[in-house]
């Protein structure tokens, strides 16, 4: 029997354990190690003590690809007994003005600004088809002409200053960094997110953490170790791997035939990689993906959802903090009671 270690109890680790259970049957023993006392990673649905209103402390939504064909994640959500709920937002706040549609843009910024925004979106659509938008981030991306420019270069070519600002605010929170630090193709994809026919999103009724709970509840053969941070992994091509973990104040060394590391990039630095071949492989991996990208979520509880008289939808783009997305966290709950705004800050401001 093969012994397989899964490092990380977030959605990636839970999904890996699920697949191993279903694909290998009794052919392997799976052990999952999670450093904290909870499973779910960046899927965190919480509630304020002073107001029974849910909010997302981590991932707020999923991309919806069902319009393009089979969407395996959305299919899994339904299969696990959860309900996907479509989300949407079209408003953007610029210089204190709420721009809900083309009419508002013309009224507050002028026809020249609207034309420049639409021209840029048309430029993006001509270079990124709907199919390319769905199948993003493949090796062929590096050969795209726009990948040889930065996103900042493309924005600088927009002739209207208000249009440039509008586009920057609309794109910034999805980029997780600054426009000059990513290539233009990623920028064009982000510019198309709000264009009909491209992006769509959904959340899960009851909160995004419902997905993690359902995945964890479905694991019947995996040995789950919570509060068990992995401190070192030693590799040997002939004898497999040795995983060292801290549990109950003790360090244990456990042998495995294979190891799947399902951790965010930033946490790879916290593990000691032993063995020249393994250390070189991880060093190369870290160097390849060493790109500055940061998010910070700030959720605020209000006595009433005062913003609903100003705009509707699941979120609004705000020109504060370099451009951030503000979620109406209580939108799904409805009613006239307390409300939560969740600010997703990105890049330098995060």
Q: Could you report the per-residue pLDDT of 167-187, keeping only the tens digit for each?
A: 999 999 999 999 999 889 999
Beta strand residue intervals within the chain, DSSP E: 2-7, 28-33, 45-48, 51-56, 62-63, 84-87, 92-94, 97-99, 201-204, 223-225, 230-236, 240-247, 250-256, 258-261, 272-274, 295-302, 315-318, 324-328, 339-346
What integer pLDDT is reported at residue 334 of this predicted model? Answer: 54
Q: What pLDDT was estimated at residue 284?
A: 92
Residue 183 gets which letter from DSSP? B
Phi/psi zone of residue 158: left (φ > 0), alpha (ψ -120 to 50 degrees), beta? beta
d(CA 169, CA 113): 14
pLDDT for residue 298: 95
Q: Note the pLDDT of residue 61.
A: 93
pLDDT of residue 239: 79
CA dihedral 99, 103, 107, 109 (to 10 degrees): 60
pLDDT on residue 252? 95
Q: What is the pLDDT of residue 207?
A: 95
Domain residue extents for the chain: 2-42+209-288, 85-202+293-346
In this prediction, residue 23 carries a pLDDT of 92
C-alpha pair distances (Å), 189 with each of 74, 136, 181: 21, 9, 15
Task: Select 2-42+209-288's CATH number: 3.30.465.10, 3.50.50.60, 1.10.287.4070, 1.10.3720.10.
Answer: 3.50.50.60
Q: Give pLDDT, residue 113.
A: 98
Q: Which CATH architecture has domain 85-202+293-346?
A: Alpha-Beta Complex (3.90)
- The ranges of the chain with pLDDT < 70 are 137, 237, 331-336
Give me the pLDDT at residue 98, please.
Answer: 95
């Amino acid at each position: 029997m093969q012994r397989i270690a899964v490092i990380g109890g977030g959605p990636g680790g839970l999904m890996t354990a699920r697949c191993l259970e279903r694909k290998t049957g009794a052919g392997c023993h799976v052990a999952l190690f999670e450093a904290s006392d909870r499973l779910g990673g960046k899927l965190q649905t919480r509630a304020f003590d002073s107001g029974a209103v849910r909010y997302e402390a981590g991932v707020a939504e999923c991309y919806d690809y069902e319009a393009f064909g089979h969407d395996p994640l959305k299919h899994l959500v339904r299969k696990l007994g959860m309900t996907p709920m479509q989300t949407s937002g079209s408003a953007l706040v610029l210089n204190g003005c709420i721009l809900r549609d083309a009419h508002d843009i013309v009224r507050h910024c002028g026809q020249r600004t609207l034309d420049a925004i639409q021209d840029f979106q048309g430029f993006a659509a001509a270079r990124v088809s709907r199919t390319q938008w769905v199948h993003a981030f493949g090796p062929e991306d590096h050969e795209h002409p726009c990948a040889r420019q930065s996103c900042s270069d493309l924005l600088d070519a927009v002739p209207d200053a208000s249009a440039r600002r509008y586009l920057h605010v609309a794109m910034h929170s999805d980029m997780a960094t600054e426009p000059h630090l990513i290539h233009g193709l990623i920028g064009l994809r982000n510019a198309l997110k709000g264009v009909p026919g491209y992006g769509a999103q959904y959340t899960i009724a009851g909160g995004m953490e419902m997905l993690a709970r359902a995945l964890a509840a479905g694991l019947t053969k995996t040995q789950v170790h919570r509060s068990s941070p992995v401190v070192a992994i030693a590799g040997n091509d002939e004898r497999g791997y040795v995983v060292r973990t801290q549990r109950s104040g003790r360090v244990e060394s456990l042998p495995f035939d294979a190891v799947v590391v399902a951790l965010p990039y930033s946490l790879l630095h916290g593990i000691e990689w032993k063995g020249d071949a393994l250390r070189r492989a991880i060093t190369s991996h870290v160097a390849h993906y060493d790109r500055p990208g940061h998010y910070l979520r700030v959720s605020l509880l209000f006595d009433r959802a005062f913003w609903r008289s100003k705009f509707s939808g699941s979120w609004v783009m705000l020109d504060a903090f370099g451009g951030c997305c503000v979620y109406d966290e209580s939108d799904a709950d409805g009613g006239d009671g307390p409300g939560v705004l969740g600010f997703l800050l990105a890049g330098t401001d995060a």
